[in-house]
Structure 1
Amino acid sequence: MEAVSAAFSPDGLLSAAEPAFTPRAGQTAMARAVAAAIEDGEVLVVEAGTGVGKTYAYLVPALLSGQRVLVSTATKALQDQLFARDLPRLVHGLGLPLRMARLKGRSSYLCLERLERVRQGRGAPQDPQVLRAVADVERWARTTRSGDLAELPALDERSPVVPLVTSTKDNCLGSGCAHWQGCHVNQARQQALQADVVVINHHLLFADLDVRDSGMARLLPSTGVVVVDEAHQLNDIGVQFAGQALSSQQLIGYARDALRVTQEHARGMADWLVLCATLEQAVRELRLQAGKPPVGGRIPWQAVTPLGLDAQRWRAALVRLGQSLRSLLTPLAGTEAMAADLQRLYERGAGLLAALARFAAAADEDCVRWLELGSQHLRMLESPLSIAAVMQERLLQRGLEGEGAEQQPRKAWIFTSATLGSDAQLSWFTEPCGLREARLLRVDSPFDYHEQAGVYVPQPFATAGSAQHSQQVARLVLDAAQRLGGRTLVLTTTLKALHAISEALRAALGLFADLDVLVQGEAPKLALIQRFMAAGAARSQRGSILVASATFWEGVDLPGDVLQLVVIDKLPFPPPDDPLVEARCRRLEGVGRAGFHDYMLPEAAMALKQGAGRLIRSETDRGVLVICDPRLMTMAYGAELLAALPPMRLLAGQGEFEQALDGLARPAAPG
């Protein structure tokens, strides 16, 4: 504890390692709380406001503890930042001889076997643009040591090239692969097993549970300290892994892989072509029975049949699908000993059949089930309503313990984020994650929000969701951004609003305007952010308006004058027709609580807080937050949502708003 306090003192190790380091009371308080939790082997939940410096506040006591440390983040971006920047600085500054490793899921690493298949023309794409991207990957593959696709910034993670050159749990050949010794995934895992500090992401944290429960070798080393950063995303990510999913893409992909493998290893032992074609046809018939995709693409599935579908026809299509899959597995069972590929194919098919059988039966009471429909595909999904049971029974209790764990000190768990709740118990986070008994700490931001930022709610304004609303938002954005020379981020709650606002802005500006409209989805996220920052770095250049949704509400760091205006189109309530939202509200109402007040409102408050957090990122930032939803001022719950925001000054009307914009347009005085 004393070593931790000394490190954060004015003349401590941090001041020597970081020339710009300034002691902050909140950061030191958090570091001491983390150190105490590590000493006692306890669970600590910390909400640390923007600017506290939570990364160093948890890393310093964790590194000084002498125990093996695991840090989990929600995004690969923060994972890369920790591993490439923050950890090396601290390890060097603290003078600690620690080995560090970064571990991602297998979809982040180049698969040499899959790349060779494409090179040989097996499953090679026909699109010239995709072929050029594959050629870029081939050139990079000759020199890379890690195989991490993040080394290729021009390769978007949504690119069709990624599944061609990476493996999945289903198509990995395992120890029978010719490239097993040089496999980048295996090498990354080995480095993690030998490291003192391992940086992973939440997806991998939960995926590791499945790996260990299935009897496979453990992916991650036993650790004494586990830090979960960006913990506000933990429940949503955990629910995905704790649930079940079965898609038409999985089944059709299995049929095609089965045809390829059986033709190679078991030709003539069954009519594989007919069996695989029958399975594909059964998948297509099931998709046809689901009908047209609804708005939002999700159909609730409370009973045995998805809502609104013909029960008899749906059941018959499910049965035919199960029969066709079983018909393929029957002859496969007799070929398992002939080749490892055939054995893996049979095991994979048996898993798909078990998942199909689960969806043919009624869902468990504590789960929610729904059907996702695209124009050609479907996904059957089932999830628990929270991860409380998973956290208590599978993660916190057994944690990452392995052989020899009984000689290890009790594991400490640190959960931290800038937004974890609006009440003293941080219930929004602790309740669904099963952490009610954890130690709690709230550390306020050191920023002077009242002086640095204002919040404006325009009134009167079009009703949120109306046909006029997006057009009115676009007009407000256009006028404000022209005053500022760009420097504007528009956060929308729906993709429909994103397209409507961006199209209205472009139509109003024309081709030769002095403002550029950047739109999420038209380029990779990192590329959009870089273009936005470059435009804001010099006031003489063409300014930018960035219109975005979803992932841009958090994890976007634009300090300084490059961003001065954040506009939120409407209050970010969860969609009431979402099956998971409906089920959580029903569960609360079943025990006498209010679905809107106890679930919908806290969700909106946390999302609003995340979006507002994009504006002020340093002690010298200045800006204005605009929320284009009059309900914030007219509805009784508006006061609760306003209270969740950072304590910015409230701009009383359009005059004060324009005055604030004019003040931002003038460069800040030195110092």
Structure 2
Amino acid sequence: MSDCLTPAGSNSGQEVAQSTLEQQVLDFFAPGGPLAEHDPHYRERSGQRHMALAVARAIVEHDALVVEAGTGVGKTFAYLVPALLAGERALVSTATKTLQDQLFTRDLPYLANLLGLPLRLALLKGRGSYLCLHRLHQARHTVLRSDGALLHTISRIERFAQSTRTGDLSELEGLDERSPAIPLVTSTRDNCIGSTCDHFRQCHVNVARREALAADVVVVNHHLFFADLAVRESGMAELLPSVHTVIFDEAHQLNEIGTQFMGMQLGSGHVLDLCRDLLATGMQSARGLADWQTLARQLEQAARELRLVVGQRPAGTKLRWTESVPDTLNPDEWPGALRALRTALEDAASALDMMSELGPDFVRLHQRATAMQERIDLFQQPCPPDAVRWLDVSAQLRLVQSPLDIAETVRTRMLKRKQLPVQEREPESAWDEPQVIHEVQSEKLHDDHRIKQGRTWIFTSATLGDEPQLRWFTEPCGMQDVATLQVESPFAYATHASVHVPPDLPLPNAPEHPAAVARLVAEAASQIGGRTLVLTTTLRSLRVIGEALRRRFEGGDSIEVLVQGESTKRRLIERFRLGDDEGRLPGCILVASASFWEGVDVPGDGLQLVVIDKLPFPPPQDPLVEARSRRLELEGRSPFRDYFLPETAVMLKQGAGRLIRRENDTGVLIVCDRRLLQMSYGNRLLKALPPMRRLASREELDAALQAMACRHGKD
């Protein structure tokens, strides 16, 4: 960090440094400490204090630590405070831009002020978040005059460009993140022309990177971090070596995000983007020097022919690709279409190569076309044994090759340590506090044999598994030898929350199940005036349940039904949080899937009923799921016990975690899957939930809902 900051201790005495940092942490969280003095609502939480001490110890020992901290522990302050007090440069990575912005604009400035530290903070996002001045100039000449709406958006962005300091497009009020203008005015690694750009010095991406290199604390996201590990392009290669402490919040997403970037993809959308840029650049800067229209038409036709070979498939279909041709595709047509695409790319690359002296745009386009040829060559080779390959089908195609997990990447490129056996031990007396439910310490070897780390790694989330060793997280992330800590939530779930599993609903795979769920939701939500979040496991259930609820409340003014996909996630949650706005608006039912299972934070009375349509088992036909299952079978393990159940437990915990967000919140969770009551694995999944009171009958459910309604004047 800055030279004016004082480290917690000198290098000559690690024990002194550790005790000093731990004491500073204890003082900060003490009843009479800075936090308590500044915040009259602050209450000391032993779990938060314990986690903060564990993080402090890891920082001093240059060690790695995995922490599962239940909702309400206050994990953000528990990792930030020791990291800031240590006086070393830190990097914090999150899974979502929402938390990234919260850390940068709220939590870090607040703590820096309380601690009296003159911190230099930086926020670093991916290229797609920043306005590209070069691409903005091109967009004005690319967009058709007939597209009035898009031209209007481009004009708004041009005005924004005159006033913005950061170029972060999230600052432009009212710009939909799904706007077709965004890819036109932002750069990618493929189309950025680098230092040859006329706007290089004032480039918002480069300015953000320079600020990150000079900052004491840098906030990034997991996508950016792993993108850099994969291609060394985001600026992290220069930043990471100078960082002492790396913290991953929302770490439960690390494996899935990491595998996306450590593999290889080629999408027909990438080819069509190249077509558009090739035609626009060629016609604008080299008209007549090549037949740009024919080259672009050949590329576009080749990409569409490849899509036609696949035929009509439901959106989201994933075709296994274990042989030379993806499953169910014609073995003659697919290779021919792939070769035709490569030929069209080769023709385009040849024409672009001759234009390289005309400007950097042509050089970059040539590199893009060449890189796509190389990816086609890779997909024409057999898939490596430690990876899985599939064809992702929607309106466009994606050819995907992915590792099964990120274990090797984490061990060799991040932690850079040997894999050591795990030993369970009793917590030391000073750490023996009731809210710490499990701690596992990595084996300590003699210094001559132990790999020394120069960097501290902290991985934390509210949900990292359903058993004490947190193997669901540590195994695929290559951290079997890393110390783990579980800190339970301080919330009084037994008195504030209840769970009900309806015993008489149809089985989840029955055609009538979604309609039955919709009827139950309508009856329950009516009792409490909305305040209901419905989480579905499939888009089909989302549509069926959403439509049924719309019909049920159509024409009424008491409850408004919101359905994912009809607006942006941010706007849906904003409307949902408003609730009935003290009687001025209808109450809300929000029906959602996918990303709404986590990251939705509606504290207080705005959300009091969460309904999960069925157990969120991983889709067994998914190629990645199949490959992971086969690997477990080869190891002599049970895919169901060691993969499907832990995955389901974590997802179930994530969904249930939307219900109670603050100490005084109350609510009911309904899981509409009677397998929880009938199957032997049901108890394991129920135990994964917070310790809520069980509502065994419909009468008990109605009583709980009525009690909440009475408290809010809905009776």
> Which bracket does the TM-score occupy, shorter chain normalised?
over 0.9
Q: Give distance in 2, aligned partners of 1:146 and 1:214.
A: 16
Question: Does the CA contact (< 8 Å) of 1:211 and 1:218 recur in 2?
Answer: no
* Aligned-pair CA distance for 1:668: 7.2
Using a 3 Å threshold, how does the CA distance of structure 1 residues 579 and 211 change in structure 2: closer, same or farther? closer
The one-letter amino acid of 1:226's match is: V
Gapped runs of 5+ residues in structure 1?
399-407
* Aligned-pair CA distance for 1:313: 1.6
Using a 3 Å threshold, how does the CA distance of structure 1 residues 41 and 570 change in structure 2: closer, same or farther? same
Q: Give distance in 1, aligned partners of 2:60 and 2:457.
A: 11
Q: Give distance in 2, aligned partners of 1:71 and 1:603.
A: 26
Q: Give distance in 1, aligned partners of 2:587 and 2:235.
A: 55
Counterpart for residue 3 of structure 1: 24
1:54 equivalent to 2:66? Answer no
The one-letter amino acid of 2:172's match is: L
1:547 equivalent to 2:568? Answer no
Counterpart for residue 311 of structure 2: 291
Q: Give distance in 1, aligned partners of 2:151 and 2:79.
A: 45
- Which structure 2 residues correspond to residues 215-254 of structure 1 after superposition, within 5 A? 218=238, 222-254=242-274
The one-letter amino acid of 2:174's match is: A
Counterpart for residue 44 of structure 1: 65
- Which structure 2 residues correspond to residues 379-458 of structure 1 after superposition, within 5 A? 379-397=398-416, 410-458=454-502
- Which structure 2 residues correspond to residues 473-512 of structure 1 after superposition, within 5 A? 473-512=517-556
Question: Does the CA contact (< 8 Å) of 1:35 and 1:61 recur in 2?
Answer: yes
| Structure 1, 416-425 or 133-142: larger mean CA deviation | 133-142
Q: Give distance in 2, aligned partners of 1:15 and 1:43.
A: 30
Counterpart for residue 150 of structure 1: 170
Counterpart for residue 404 of structure 1: none
The one-letter amino acid of 2:500's match is: Y
Counterpart for residue 141 of structure 1: 161
Using a 3 Å threshold, how does the CA distance of structure 1 residues 340 and 295 change in structure 2: closer, same or farther? closer
Question: Does the CA contact (< 8 Å) of 2:416 and 2:453 recur in 1?
Answer: no
* Aligned-pair CA distance for 1:602: 0.8
Q: Give distance in 1, aligned partners of 2:146 and 2:183.
A: 15
| Structure 1, 569-578 or 157-166: larger mean CA deviation | 157-166
Using a 3 Å threshold, how does the CA distance of structure 1 residues 501 and 294 change in structure 2: closer, same or farther? closer
Q: Give distance in 2, aligned partners of 1:126 and 1:575.
A: 44
Using a 3 Å threshold, how does the CA distance of structure 1 residues 215 and 443 change in structure 2: closer, same or farther? closer
1:632 equivalent to 2:676? Answer yes
Residue in structure 1 matching 2:390, options 370, 374, 378: 370
SS of the residue corresponding to residue 413 of structure 1 reads strand
Q: Give distance in 2, aligned partners of 1:213 and 1:498.
A: 38
The one-letter amino acid of 2:397's match is: L
Q: Give distance in 1, aligned partners of 2:147 and 2:234.
A: 38
Residue in structure 1 matching 2:139, options 111, 118, 136: 118
Q: Give distance in 2, aligned partners of 1:116 and 1:271.
A: 24
Question: Does the CA contact (< 8 Å) of 2:315 and 2:394 recur in 1?
Answer: no
- Which structure 2 residues correspond to residues 162-201 of structure 1 after superposition, within 5 A? 162-201=182-221
Question: Does the CA contact (< 8 Å) of 2:322 and 2:389 recur in 1?
Answer: yes
Q: Give distance in 2, aligned partners of 1:253 and 1:85.
A: 38
Counterpart for residue 224 of structure 2: 204
The one-letter amino acid of 2:86's match is: S
Question: Does the CA contact (< 8 Å) of 2:228 and 2:236 recur in 1?
Answer: no
Using a 3 Å threshold, how does the CA distance of structure 1 residues 216 and 420 change in structure 2: closer, same or farther? closer
Using a 3 Å threshold, how does the CA distance of structure 1 residues 601 and 142 change in structure 2: closer, same or farther? same
Q: Give distance in 1, aligned partners of 2:599 and 2:158.
A: 31
Question: Does the CA contact (< 8 Å) of 1:46 and 1:442 recur in 2?
Answer: yes
What is the CA RMSD across the aligned residues, in angstroms?
2.0
Question: Does the CA contact (< 8 Å) of 1:461 and 1:629 recur in 2?
Answer: yes
Q: Give distance in 1, aligned partners of 2:329 and 2:198.
A: 47
Q: Give distance in 2, aligned partners of 1:161 and 1:340.
A: 23
Counterpart for residue 279 of structure 1: 299
Using a 3 Å threshold, how does the CA distance of structure 1 residues 618 and 550 change in structure 2: closer, same or farther? same
Q: Give distance in 2, aligned partners of 1:370 and 1:387.
A: 18
| Structure 1, 229-238 or 538-547: larger mean CA deviation | 538-547
1:358 equivalent to 2:378? Answer yes
SS of the residue corresponding to residue 156 of structure 1 reads coil
The C-alpha deviation readout for 1:116-144, integer Å capped at 9, x for no partner, is: 2233x323574433333333323322222
The one-letter amino acid of 1:57's match is: A
* Aligned-pair CA distance for 1:236: 0.6
Q: Give distance in 1, aligned partners of 2:334 and 2:320.
A: 14
Question: Does the CA contact (< 8 Å) of 1:193 and 1:220 recur in 2?
Answer: no
Q: Give distance in 2, aligned partners of 1:326 and 1:137.
A: 35
Using a 3 Å threshold, how does the CA distance of structure 1 residues 352 and 219 change in structure 2: closer, same or farther? farther
* Aligned-pair CA distance for 1:15: 1.6
1:22 equivalent to 2:30? Answer no
Residue in structure 1 matching 2:570, options 501, 526, 529: 526
Gapped runs of 5+ residues in structure 2?
1-21, 418-451
SS of the residue corresponding to residue 142 of structure 1 reads helix
* Aligned-pair CA distance for 1:153: 4.1
Alignment TM-score, normalising by the size of structure 1: 0.94
* Aligned-pair CA distance for 1:409: 7.8
Q: Give distance in 2, aligned partners of 1:107 and 1:425.
A: 37
Question: Does the CA contact (< 8 Å) of 1:265 and 1:342 recur in 2?
Answer: no
Counterpart for residue 70 of structure 1: 91
The C-alpha deviation readout for 1:605-625, integer Å capped at 9, x for no partner, is: 100000000001111111100
The C-alpha deviation readout for 1:528-564, integer Å capped at 9, x for no partner, is: 1111111255256421111111111101111111111
* Aligned-pair CA distance for 1:462: 1.2
Question: Does the CA contact (< 8 Å) of 2:213 and 2:238 recur in 1?
Answer: no
Residue in structure 1 matching 2:100, options 55, 76, 79: 79
Counterpart for residue 103 of structure 1: 124
SS of the residue corresponding to residue 311 of structure 1 reads coil
Counterpart for residue 330 of structure 2: 310
Q: Give distance in 1, aligned partners of 2:124 and 2:175.
A: 19
* Aligned-pair CA distance for 1:646: 0.4
Q: Give distance in 1, aligned partners of 2:557 and 2:613.
A: 23
SS of the residue corresponding to residue 573 of structure 1 reads coil
SS of the residue corresponding to residue 669 of structure 2 reads strand
Alignment TM-score, normalising by the size of structure 2: 0.89
* Aligned-pair CA distance for 1:346: 1.7
Q: Give distance in 2, aligned partners of 1:341 and 1:417.
A: 43
Residue in structure 1 matching 2:150, options 111, 130, 135: 130
- Which structure 2 residues correspond to residues 551-566 of structure 1 after superposition, within 5 A? 551-566=595-610
Counterpart for residue 639 of structure 2: 595
Q: Give distance in 2, aligned partners of 1:195 and 1:483.
A: 52
The one-letter amino acid of 2:694's match is: L
The C-alpha deviation readout for 1:11-66, integer Å capped at 9, x for no partner, is: 11222343322111000000000000000000100000000000000000000011
Question: Does the CA contact (< 8 Å) of 1:193 and 1:221 recur in 2?
Answer: no
Using a 3 Å threshold, how does the CA distance of structure 1 residues 429 and 151 change in structure 2: closer, same or farther? same
The one-letter amino acid of 2:402's match is: S
Q: Give distance in 1, aligned partners of 2:228 and 2:342.
A: 29
The one-letter amino acid of 2:300's match is: E
The one-letter amino acid of 2:413's match is: R
The one-letter amino acid of 1:509's match is: F
* Aligned-pair CA distance for 1:578: 1.0
Counterpart for residue 653 of structure 1: 697
Matched-pair identity in %? 54
* Aligned-pair CA distance for 1:270: 4.5
Question: Does the CA contact (< 8 Å) of 1:224 and 1:409 recur in 2?
Answer: no
SS of the residue corresponding to residue 666 of structure 1 reads helix
